Amino acid sequence: MKNLIKVPFILSISFCLLFCVDGFYKKTLDILDRLPKDKIYLILITEYPGIKEITEVVGLEGKYGHIEVIWNNTVYGARPSTCKKLTFPEFIEKYHGFEYEIREITIPGNFNNALTFYENEVEGRSYDLYYRSCTSIINDMYESSSGEKIPIESINVEELYNNDNRVREFMEEKGFKIPTTDVWLPDQFKTFGAFINAGIFN
């Protein structure tokens, strides 16, 4: 009798392992393809150790070194060395093996203006750590759509340089200049919008 009771219990546990954590085993393409259209997503990625090192130096966790925008089955990003849109298969191939986190966001105004900005000012142009980076173009797209800066406090690099010895030594060692524009890092977007999914590019 005890063995008979164990059988459905074992079956129920097996069912849960197979289906309750389905997202963990799903191929990345399946997950991306299932994202509802006409919604805006950010996808944070654990690539680019140099950016993660900068993030740690300024006092953040340093988990993510990159971020891109997803809209209607297309990925919009600024990445070394040339910025361009990617299809999902191209995107997955580029970041295969890295961890990611998807967040749904809302951008007020007319998002077509953000897409126009990307086409005119980002697509086909060279990546720049300060002035055409993965985070700066997200702010630019947000601002093009809404008329306002993204509601995430930017990092005051000059203030950090003047008051934090570790930051100053790091910037001098790497040859970084103090930027004349707002700066954001991918880790700052970890709480922006609503969490949708996370996994490893496969």
Residues 96-117 pLDDT 10s: 999 999 999 999 999 999 999 9
Confidence label for 145 from pLDDT (cuts 50, 70 and 90): very high
Sheet arrangement for strand 66-71: 86-87, 74-76, 66-71, 40-45, 99-105, 194-200
| Across 5-14, 63-72, 93-102, least confident range | 5-14
Whether the full predicted model's pTM is greater than 0.95, yes or no, is no
Q: What mean pLDDT is predicted for residues 61-84? A: 97
Q: What mean pLDDT is predicted for residues 177-197? A: 96
**Confidence at residue 2, expressed as pLDDT on a 0 to 100 scale:** 45
Contact 113, 100 (CB under 8 A): no
* Whole-number Å distance between alpha carbons of 134 and 95: 15
**Confidence at residue 192, expressed as pLDDT on a 0 to 100 scale:** 98
Superfamily of domain 26-200: endopeptidase domain like (from Nostoc punctiforme) (3.90.1720.10)
Would the pLDDT of 19 be above 50?
no
Contact 41, 102 (CB under 8 A): yes
**Confidence at residue 26, expressed as pLDDT on a 0 to 100 scale:** 75
Confidence label for 25 from pLDDT (cuts 50, 70 and 90): low
% of the chain with per-residue pLDDT over 70? 88
Would the pLDDT of 68 be above 70?
yes
% of the chain with per-residue pLDDT over 90? 87
Q: What mean pLDDT is predicted for residues 1-21? A: 44
Would the pLDDT of 27 be above 60?
yes
Where in the chain are the domains? 26-200
What is the identity of the amino acid at 107? I
**Confidence at residue 144, expressed as pLDDT on a 0 to 100 scale:** 98
- When the pLDDT of each residue in the chain is averaged and rounded to a whole number, the result is 90
The residues, ordered by sequence, that sit 6+ positions from 110 with a Cβ below 8 Å of its Cβ are 145
Q: What mean pLDDT is predicted for residues 69-73? A: 97
Would the pLDDT of 179 be above 70?
yes
Q: What mean pLDDT is predicted for residues 38-50? A: 97
